[in-house]
Amino acid sequence: MATIYQNSYIALAATKSRNGSEGCFSSATPMDQDHPLTPPLAEMSRGWVYQEKLLAPRVLHFCTKELVWECQEGDDCECNNYRSAPMKELEKVKSGEVLEAWALPKRQHQARTPVTLLWHQMVQRYSCLALTEQSDRLPAIAGLAREIGRCKMGKYLASLWEDSLYDDLLWEVDDRCAEKLKTYRAPSWSWASVNGSVRF
């Protein structure tokens, strides 16, 4: 599924909808009518949506009051008042900046690489998002993992990377009330083995 979004020309997002059955169209609002500005990212709380948005080259959001456009070059809306905080991880993955950073010579005891930091930022954000099926915790981030894997991170080990394993093992549960799993999903040393948000 990740390849579909990555190779798409544009993703159409039903951002105004609370679920998959509500659709994406709403009544037109005259542009001279004031309305609260709600960035589409504030409404993005689903795990699968996070991956899809990061991988798609362009997203057209169908919001309650207007259309919002997001791409690597910038953002805009019909009222001309929308400016989102740029998602740096999106730009880095898509622009190849991560690959360039990885190509720099590595010192023996180098601190976390830009690629490792980027992966940790993505995992931290992703781990806070909701999934209908908790068994989707690894599949819903697999497309992003594949992109990060292009940076020669070694083997992908249940959501951790061979070349940054020491840093990747330094995660902790952000919510002390994280739910203990009843069924096996990932080894206990992987952040994917718990439900709830994590931090590095």
Could you give the number of structural domains in the chain?
Answer: 2
Distances (CA, A) of 177 to 118, 142, 185: 26, 26, 19
Residues 190 and 105 reside in one and the same domain: yes
- What's the confidence (pLDDT) of residue 159? 92
Residues 53 and 150 reside in one and the same domain: no
Q: Which domain holds residue 178?
A: 91-199
Residues 101 and 172 reside in one and the same domain: yes
- What's the confidence (pLDDT) of residue 21? 74
Residues 62 and 134 reside in one and the same domain: no
Q: Is 195 helix (H, G, I), strand (E, B) or coil?
A: strand
Check whether 151 has a pLDDT greater than 70.
yes
Instruction: For residue 152, report the phi and psi dihedrals to the nearest 5 degrees.
Output: 55, 55
Percentage of the chain exceeding pLDDT 90: 14
Report the DSSP beta bridge partners of residue 58.
71
Question: Average of pLDDT values for 148-158?
Answer: 85
Q: Model's pTM, two decimal places?
A: 0.63
Question: Average of pLDDT values for 59-72?
Answer: 80
Residues 111 and 79 reside in one and the same domain: no
Closest to 35 measured CA to CA, from 6, 5, 64: 64
Check whether 47 has a pLDDT greater than 70.
no
User: Which of the residue ranges 50-59, 73-82, 86-95, 142-151 would you say has the lowest mean pLDDT?
Assistant: 86-95
Hey, what are 46's tokens? 């689903």
Average pLDDT, whole number, for the chain? 74
Residues 51 and 81 reside in one and the same domain: yes
Task: Compute the half-sphere exposure of residue 99: CA atoms within 13 Å on the CB side of its CA.
Answer: 9
Closest to 63 measured CA to CA, from 88, 29, 93: 29
Last residue of a domain, one of 86, 104, 128: 86
The whole-angstrom separation of Cα 15 and Cα 67 is: 10
Check whether 117 has a pLDDT greater than 70.
yes
- Residues 75-93 pLDDT 10s: 777 777 655 544 445 555 5
Are 160 and 168 in contact by the 8 Å Cβ rule? The answer is yes
Residues 105 and 53 reside in one and the same domain: no
Residues 127 and 78 reside in one and the same domain: no
Closest to 14 measured CA to CA, from 47, 53, 51: 53
Hey, what are 62's tokens? 């169908």
Residues 192 and 96 reside in one and the same domain: yes
- What's the confidence (pLDDT) of residue 102? 45
Residues 80 and 123 reside in one and the same domain: no
Q: Between residues 5 and 62, which one has the greater pLDDT?
A: 62
Q: What is the DSSP string of 117-132?
A: HHHHHHHHHHHTSB-S
Q: What is the DSSP string of 24-93?
A: S------TTS------HHHH--BHHHHHHHHH-SEEEEE-SSSEEEEETTEEEETTS---PPP-HHHHHH
User: Which of the residue ranges 28-37, 56-65, 107-116, 140-149 would you say has the lowest mean pLDDT?
Assistant: 28-37
Residues 95 and 188 reside in one and the same domain: yes
